Amino acid sequence: MISAYLEADPRCGLCRRAAPPFQKAVAYGAYEGLLRDLVHVFKYQRVQSAAPLLAGFLEQALAATALPAELLVLPVPLAKSKSRSRGFNQAESIARAFAHRRRSAGIKLDTASLVRTRETASQTGLTRHQRRLNLRGAFAVVHPQQIKGRSVLLVDDVMTTGTTAGECSRVLLRAGAKQVFVATVARAIKQAEISLPEQGIWAKVAHA
């Protein structure tokens, strides 16, 4: 079983000195091999039955993190064009399944407060600085009263450089969020070494 990427830090010294706005970011495993295939099947082939399984991975990634008892779960919003072509927001599906698994009076799902305000160019091939400029002003909080004073768990499928999570976190903190945690299914890094039982993972998808 693969575990959350918590130890190795692939960032350069400059990036390590520029602390991200979120409290902590965890991921279930590296974005490669079977985990990458599973994310692609879910996202591009629209196998919705994979959402509960991915939410379970998210829960395992967060197992070692001391989360507040009261937590607002927010998915990273998807661009309208991608939402139309894909038919759903994969981050929202995972967040919804996660909130269902952890349903309690203290954990609530909010899919409306954080929105994407404009379309952005693809992040592929951009430097970290270019990614930040590309996303600047791309997110907004439209219901700050829902965010103020709350601890937030920001959910997405994959983290690459952390630019999107960082920008969303900045917007949420400016809107009054107490703190922001980030959880993703996968992290696009080379350093993480994982071992994933092939038949087990696909059997879970088939029977989810």
Residue ranges of domains in the chain? 20-207
Token readout for 17 is: 């000195």
Please give the model's pTM, rounded to 2 decimal places: 0.80
Instruction: Look at 122 and 107; give whichever has higher pLDDT.
Output: 107
Instruction: Look at 192 and 190; give whichever has higher pLDDT.
Output: 190
* CATH number for the segment(s) 20-207: 3.40.50.2020
Please report, rounded to a whole number, the percentage of residues in the chain having pLDDT higher than 70.
74
> From the centroid of its chain, how far is CA 64?
17
What pLDDT digit, counting tens, does each position of 13-39 carry? 545 556 788 999 999 999 999 999 999
In sequence order, which residues have a C-beta less than 8 Å from that of residue 146 and are 6 or more positions away? 72, 110, 112, 113
What is the identity of the amino acid at 168?
C
